[in-house]
Amino acid sequence: MKCNVLIKAHQHKIIDLDKKLPFIKTLFPKAMIETKSYAEESCIIIKDAIDDVKLKSIKDQVCDVKLNFDCYTYSLLGLSLLDMNFEVSKDVANKIINNLDPANFVMKSIMVMDNKEQSISNLFTTVLFKYFQTEKMIEIASEDRFLENSRENMQELREVLNDELNDKYFFRTDSPAAGSSGSLGPILINDDKDEVPIDSNWKDIGAIKHTLYQNKTSRYVFLLKKTNYFKEVHEALVVMCRQDSLIDASGYMCASWMENINSALDEIRNNISSDNENKFYWRELKKNIEIMDLNFLEFHTTITSNNSLMGKFPDTMDFNFSRDYIKEYREYRRKLRDNVFQMLNEVKYAINNLATPGHTHDEHLLQEETEKVHERLLMISFIAMAIPSGVAIMTPAISIIIKIIAASAIFSIPLIYFSFRKVQKLLSYKRNMKSEFKRLIKLESDRIRRNTEHNERLKTMDELPEDIKKGIVDLNLKGLSALEKRLSMLKTKL
């Protein structure tokens, strides 16, 4: 009996598959790699991605079988599926069948890879995160030129990431959404010899009886009785994984935007309450929200253009699912899709409301433009006054000393005035910049505190195997190091 277990992971980006191919060939030098259409979309398929791996046990049940790995990578959200397949005897199959759900398999199974025992879940950090070049992304974003986190810096960072990693990251309010998300995928048991008995735990979901079953406890465990349908069912499960990544990424990004928007509310409210007249602050706030709105629009249009994927049922040719299962699946997906678009609309609404204070303080920008006009009019007045005065002092009866003093006075008045105004604006700008850096320092400190607390909570999660826990914690520490580096740079600006 053969089992296929899918682990899925994605990032919040669009991958250029053609440009990514050389890196993939370097990462998996012994694998067979091809670009083709699979599960209704073009992808890169990596056959035999990892060598010499054994599955030692599944939830304390000894197996000692060879693990084979294939990988499927899609452009949208960089979805990558690690397809583990292995064969077990009838005796072992009947012992593990009730424990062969995705959570038990990934969290409580042990494999031997690189001559080291480790949990299956550690594949996220040792393979998938490495494949996503997560550390390289953190390294690039931590370069000194990007630490200021200005709009110009972030635009340059977009271009650098696209050039060096061939990934077009989605940006949140002020930074790339660089996190990786991994989760458990479907399990397909190919029981072509009919060795697994069908009991009340299984639901027949094939149009032809005794062909395909779904586990009633875990909706992502499937039992196939006719091996000739394997390819079609496998592709259908991959389509389901693509739908999951689209829905999960939408939920994460919307939650992330809401968190960032919510964290900005106190600061804006305090500035309104204190009648802050800092023109620099209101001008920068307005521009930042415009960039945030465009960042969200980029993600929103991507999700909307793939709307049909979220609610569709996978296409098949020879194999057919039962009508009841198709109806149930579509209704389930419809609710998830409706929830996604509700969240997108809520974020859009929140950004529109966040922009309101900036619009109400547009008089600061109008005042600045008015001052420029007044200064130009004043310069014209000085010139108009200087012309008759210059003619008057040219009279021969006036001594040369008086002429020099009068000419100096005529030219000194506008010079002194505009020099004074320039110094005044410079001091005001420095005060505004100092206030802005204090604000950024507070935001960065809060972000470091939240990330540190998250890492500490992660360390206490007993349900996670120690190896993957350590891998994630170490990766988070690298991200924290970058944040602390940026905080130190901001403090030097004060």
Q: pLDDT by residue for the chain (494 residues), tens digit each?
A: 888 999 999 999 999 999 999 999 999 998 999 999 999 899 999 999 888 889 888 877 788 889 899 999 999 999 999 999 988 887 777 777 766 777 778 888 889 988 888 888 888 888 888 888 888 888 888 888 887 777 888 888 889 999 999 999 998 877 888 777 888 889 999 988 888 888 888 999 999 999 999 988 888 889 999 989 999 999 999 999 999 999 998 988 898 888 888 877 777 777 777 766 666 677 778 888 888 899 999 999 999 999 888 888 998 888 999 999 999 999 999 999 999 999 999 999 998 888 877 666 665 555 555 666 666 666 666 666 555 655 555 666 666 676 666 667 666 766 776 677 677 667 766 776 777 677 778 877 887 888 888 888 878 877 777 787 788 888 788 778 878 887 887 777 77
* Cβ atoms within 10 Å of 156's Cβ, excluding its own: 13
CA–CA separation, 372 vs 351, rounded Å? Answer: 32
Token pair belonging to 180: 């990786």
Give me the pLDDT at residue 363, please: 57
Q: Based on DSSP, count helices (H) and strands (E) in the chain, helices before strands.
A: 14, 14
CA distances from 293 to 170, 172, 258, 489 (A): 12, 9, 13, 27
What are the structural domain ranges in the chain?
Answer: 2-119+178-245, 250-360, 364-492
Q: Minimal CA–CA distance to 313: which of 340, 331, 338? A: 331
Q: How many CA atoms lie within 13 A of 8 on its CB side?
A: 24
- Among left, alpha and beta (phi > 0; psi -120 to 50; other), residue 187 is beta
Q: Minimal CA–CA distance to 176: which of 163, 188, 162? A: 162
Give the CA diameter of the chain: 124
CA distances from 267 to 262, 353, 356 (A): 10, 15, 14
Burial class (CB in 10 A: 0-12, 13-18, 19+), 445: middle
Question: Pairing mode, if any, of strands 109-113 and 212-215?
Answer: unpaired
Give me the pLDDT at residue 77, please: 92
Token pair belonging to 107: 């969290």
CA–CA separation, 271 vs 344, rounded Å? Answer: 28
Answer whether 0.85 is exceeded by the pTM.
no
Give me the pLDDT at residue 264, please: 77
